[in-house]
Amino acid sequence: MARIELVNLAHAYKANPAKPSDYALLPMTMSWDDGGAYALLGPSGCGKTTLLNIISGLVKPSHGKVLFDGKDITNLPTEARNIAQVFQFPVIYDTMTVRENLAFPLKNRQWKTADINKRVGQIAEILELTPDLSHRASGLTADAKQKISLGRGLVRPDVAAVLFDEPLTVIDPHLKWLLRRKLKEIHHELKLSLIYVTHDQIEALTFADQVVVMTQGEVVQVGSAQALFEEPEHTFVGYFIGNPGMNLLPCTVSQHRAHIAEVGQSVAVPTSLAIGPASGVVKLGIRPEFVMASATQAADALASILTSARNMGTHWLLECQLGAHRIAVKQHAPPDARIGETLWLSFPPARTLFYVNDRRVV
């Protein structure tokens, strides 16, 4: 296993990139600790597979370096990097048995038969493949095939890291949940460094200790589930994480108040917030979970119109109209106003964040 560092890493598939949109990956410098469980989370096309393939050596970056334990391996081929990669669609040998499939990476490295059997047995046990070991892989379901593919990725104990590229896409939702838990157990048991790529926030947040959030070739935040939820560093993290995501209201700040754009109402802001009109586009961000809504007017509350209220089973989801802005509110109790009536919205200062040009300033 190894500590992986990316130094001024960037990648463009096209020659002579000029503008940011020419890059699949914008310059990034970051490190991944040895033994860590990381998720790489972002929408389709944001550069996740490109980054994974650069780490494994399938793609050579157009700029910057990749270091394993401080050693520059940017120009080393995949075989010399000691990386295991599990792809989105299972790659297995149909004519071999499950045991032979799992043993393959070890056989290739001239392991002794007794050692192979021991390790394959251990991996099969963890993935609940033991009863299938002597079966031919061709007859198995898509789920079982992906388990074999996962097993092949995990079987070598000496790899620098195991990279997973959306490995559960073809898996049935219930098994998906089980496998995700398994992977977490495996991480604790086998102490491998794991990098798990997904576009699914639930998958990322349950699997990883640290989630790397990407959009349009850029890493916008690396953090725990709690940090991404409570203190999104970028508006993208605010609205991508959460269901629904963060409410983001364009505003201008003057005399310690944030004036919500085109509404004629304002809320107090922290005295430390000094944002002039020249700073850029200012947005107030608050998660639906933290908005307080009441039919009774409260100090510093904004008057909105309740437009919808749905009982979601575990909570109520309200939608309120504030001028042209729609605000989502999540709360335990039903609203105390009817549809079309006024609902006063309060934003607790500790939960109200401010963004300038999409970066958090408070």
Residues that bind ligand ADP (CB under 6 A): 13, 24, 42, 44-50
Q: What is the C-alpha to C-alpha distance for residues 345 and 337, in angstroms, rounded to an integer?
A: 12
Q: What is the C-alpha to C-alpha distance for residues 307 and 324, in angstroms, rounded to an integer?
A: 12
| Closer CB to Mg ion, 102 or 163, in the complex | 163
DSSP 7: E
Q: Out of Mg ion, ligand ADP, none, which partner does residue 346 contact, by CB within 5 to 8 A per kind? A: none
The label of the residue with tokens 């992906």 reads 146
| Closer CB to ligand ADP, 58 or 356, in the complex | 58
Q: Out of Mg ion, ligand ADP, none, which partner does residue 83 contact, by CB within 5 to 8 A per kind? A: none
Nearest approach in angstroms of CB 174 to Mg ion is 24
**Burial classification of residue 133, based on how many CB atoms lie within 10 Å of its CB (0-12 exposed, 13-18 middle, 19 or more buried):** middle
DSSP per-residue string spanning 200-253: -HHHHHHH-SEEEEEETTEEEEEE-HHHHHH--SBHHHHHHSSSS--EEEEEEE
| Closer CB to ligand ADP, 101 or 221, in the complex | 221
| Closer CB to Mg ion, 52 or 322, in the complex | 52
Nearest approach in angstroms of CB 71 to Mg ion is 27
- 139: tokens are 């007859």
Nearest approach in angstroms of CB 296 to ligand ADP is 47
What is the per-residue burial (b if ≥16 Cβ within 10 Å, else e) of 223-235? bebeebbeebbbb
Q: Out of Mg ion, ligand ADP, none, which partner does residue 129 contact, by CB within 5 to 8 A per kind? A: none
| Closer CB to ligand ADP, 42 or 223, in the complex | 42
Residue nearest to Mg ion (CB): 49
Q: Out of Mg ion, ligand ADP, none, which partner does residue 46 contact, by CB within 5 to 8 A per kind? A: ligand ADP
Nearest approach in angstroms of CB 49 to Mg ion is 3
Residues that bind Mg ion (CB under 5 A): 49
Q: What distances in angstroms separate CA 201 from CA 133, 160, 238, 295, one per listed residue?
A: 33, 25, 12, 34
